[in-house]
Each structure stands twice: as structure tokens, then as C-alpha cells.
Structure 1
Amino acid sequence: MANIQSLDPSASPLDYYGWELRRQREAHSLKQGQLGEIIFCTGSLVGQIETTKKIPTRDFSERVDAALGTDGVFSRLIGLVLRSQLPTWFQPYAEMEAKAAYISTYQAQLVYGLLQTEEYARAVLATGMPDDLDSLVAARMERQRILERGRPPLAWAILDEAVLHRPIGSREVMRRQLARLLEFTDHRWMRIQVLPFSAGEHASLAGSFNLLRFEDDPDVVYTEDVIAGHMTANPGIIREAARRYAHLQAAALSIEASAALISCVMEERYGERPRPEERTVA
């Protein structure tokens, strides 16, 4: 068992969170079980979080802030904690994504992470057989909070039609995921287009890529292979990526036609099927 007193609060956001949680709890003369009762969880969970055995959630953090009157300390810390749970190679991109003023992405295989439902994300992340799937899912959901800001980044997503047809999880998971995409049809800051199969060969047959633009920093292009992610601010690559993205936008369906196709696939491919006993017998 880890000894919380041996934790180095400067070692990681998670270590600092556990160290600060115990410090604040003891400052209020509360035992783990007592704090647990106040925030509706077990003392064991409090202890596991204090010893970094368990990753805290945003809900837990908000309850602790309310219980201990810590003025949002843990609610602010949780973003850093969850981001630190992302794969090391992905963390630099997540940090840049959170700062971007404009995000444009083409996705050939999957729904973009900022648009994924929790159950879709869980099914996707489980394919990598991670040691702690729950923390990865929580970290992906935390990334999506940038869309909830008062002034979020302007985002444009082009999804290959294959993304709509590839069953991830169950039919129910896919139905809810496509319904989630339709929620953005009239969104002020997010636009979604579908690149239809009928487009044939196109400007990004080589795969997915993201282009990030910033208010005061150089643009960045991000790509992934099966092992890691890669970012570059090389001006020549940025120009080429922008050119390709413009061609993809031109080849994609309009926002309205894209929503209609998403709705059609959702109903025809993932719609609710009658139970055997409900089918008409000839």
C-alpha cells in the first residue's frame, strides 16, 4: 500500500491532488469515512484517491469543493489530473487543442474525439486494451469541455461516410452516437459535413488529419499512425494541409445534406428493430 505521506505533490497532477485532498481533509479534522459521508461516497474511495490508487472524477471534485469550502480548487485541478491520464504522446496535442481558436478535422475511420459519446469512446478506447479504461474515457470526456466554454473554438469536422457505417460498440451505441452528431446541426460553433462514398478518390485518401489555428501562434497540423501522434508547424505542410482540407470541404455534402444522410443511416442501419414476437406472421 502506498503511504500518502510519502507522496511528492510535485511528481504529477494526480499526486498533488491526492496530497492536497488529505491536507484539506485533515485541516477540517475529518476522517476519510466522515468526508465520504458528507460527499456521498465511501471512506475507502476517499483513501484510494488520496493514495493515487483511484482517479478522481469531476463530480467527486465538485462535491469536495462544496463540502470543504475550497473555492473550486479541486474542480480546477481535475482538468489537469484527467489530462495527465491521456497517453503521453497525445498530451501535447490535447494541450494545443484546448488553446486553439479554430479546429478543422477530417476523420476517415472514427467520430472525432470531441464529438464522441461516452459509450462510443469506451468502445473505441477498449480496443487498445488499456490498464485503466475508465480514466482514459474520463480524460476524453474532459477534452470535450472546451466546447462548453462561453467562447469555444470554432470547429469544423468532415467525417468520411464510412464513419457512419462502421459499427462501434452496439447498434444502440451507434444510434446514440449519430443522434449526438445531429445535435450539432444548428450549433453556433461546430459544423459537421460528411464526405460521401460517391466522392470517390479525394484529397486525403492517406488518412485523417487535424489543423489547429491560434490567435497568436503558428498553425499546427496533427496526424497519427498506429503508434503515436505527430505535430508540425512547418509552413509548407500547413499550406498543403489547408489546400487538401479546402478540397475535402468542396467534395463533402452540405451541412444540411450531411445531417440528412446521418439521420438516414441512423434510422435505416441502427434503427430500432421489432422484437420477434412483434413481427407480423404471414
Structure 2
Amino acid sequence: MPSSPGGSRLTASLEIVAQAVAAWLEAGPRPLILGICGSQGSGKSTLARGLVERLGVPAAILSLDDLYLGKAARAVLARDVHSLLATRGVPLTHDVALGCSVLDAVKAGQQVRLPRFDKASDEPLPEAQWKWVDRPLDLLIFEGWCVGAAAQADAYLNAPVNDLERTEDPDGTWRRAVNDALAGPYQTLFARIDRLALLAAPGFEVVQGWRTQQEAELRTTLAEQGRDPALAMTDAQVARFIQHYERITRAILAEMPARADLTLRLGPDREVIGES
């Protein structure tokens, strides 16, 4: 993995997860679909890339983020269901059918293109730019902020969890639509996961800092590509954006450790402070 100030912390996560995945692969069957869940900025993508390099088996990565619907499709949801669905992120804003078809193709050992989404333009990349997998895989890593998440009981949806819900979803229409999607089509998608690993943040409070760091890195990347760094979000935009994710993230941290196959409890600097 590349050297960085947080390199030793990320290496610790990689060592633990790699040992677990190697044992799961040994036990079979293959291909194994590994779900990695973790809040924004928790290190999912870095961990996934490290696992592919470390394990030395035919492997690929699919991010839940790469299943996002484009702006036009989300505009229809915003018109027909709730205005907050114009913003990518929560269940209902992904192409679940595409995700199911990709995972099914991997399970069947078929050639498949892995979709890609460009966050700077907020649009899926053209299919010609998707990653081509032309051989059977032993491992497909499916990573994302709510991969494997469960829906909440209706009673938990009554009270808003933040200002976004309080002021822009006062009657709960948005959060109930999102929860219904999570209870239905998303469970069909997540049922294709064989093993689930959770990178558990110490609390939602750290997520804004982690996500702000991601946007700073995106600005650097855009500049290096000759693109406009202003395509990345400002700190103020990040603060509002993450409120879309708060409800489900808090629910994941509360309930998923009891059922995940592996949970790494992270500290504020993403250091591993425990595992189960």
C-alpha cells in the first residue's frame, strides 16, 4: 500500500481483514462476494485495493458508489417522491438492478463490465469506460457506506435525527421512502453477499472530518487531472451533504456489529482499537 501518515493504521486493518478473507476463500465456495461496510472516509476503498494486492487471487472491486443514478434519473425521483432525492447517496439513488446483474454475472463466472461513477461530474461514466472483467473471479469486493445495512422499524422514523430531516423532511416522507427501499430492493442486492466486514467509526461525529478530508483529496486529484478543483464540495457543502447519511450510519453502528462476520472498531484516526 502507498506510504502515508496513516499507513500503519491502514496496514493494521488490511492485515486483519486479509487473514479473515484468506480463511473464507479457503473454506469456499468461490467466487466469494465480500461486502465491506463503513462510513464515509473510513478507509473502505483503500482496504479493498490492499486486499486485491495482498491476496494474490483473481479479484475485482465494485463500489456501491459506482451504482449511483445520474442527475436526470434522480431529478425524476425528486419530482415524484421527494426533493431530497436529487442528492445522491441514500437508498433509492442507486441502480439496484444493475448491481444485482453484475454480482450474478460474477457468481456465474461470466465476463462482465464493472460500472463506474464520476463524482466530480455527478454522472455515471459511459459504459465504454467501465472496468472489463474477462476472467472468472475468486473474489469480488463490494464496498460502500451502507452495504449490508438493514431497514429500521417504522417507530424509529418518527423523530428527525438532524436539521436536514427537521426542516426539509418534516413529515418523514423522504426517510420513509428511503427506508422502504432499504427494506425491499436493497435487501435483494445485499443477499448476494457471502461475507460482511464492517469498519465501525467511533461515532457519527467523526464522519464530517473524514469526509472533508476526502473532498480535499479530490480537489488535489482534479487539479492534477487539469480539471476544475471547484467541482469538489466545500466544507460547508460537506456539512450539509453528510446529514443525508446520518440516520442510516447511526443505525449501522448500533446494529451491524452483532451480525457482521468481522467488525473492526476504529478510533478517530482510523486506528484499529478492537475487532470481533
Given the two structures, how large is their TM-score scaled by the length of structure 2? 0.23
| Higher relative contact order, chain-length normalized (CA < 8 Å, sep 6+) | 2
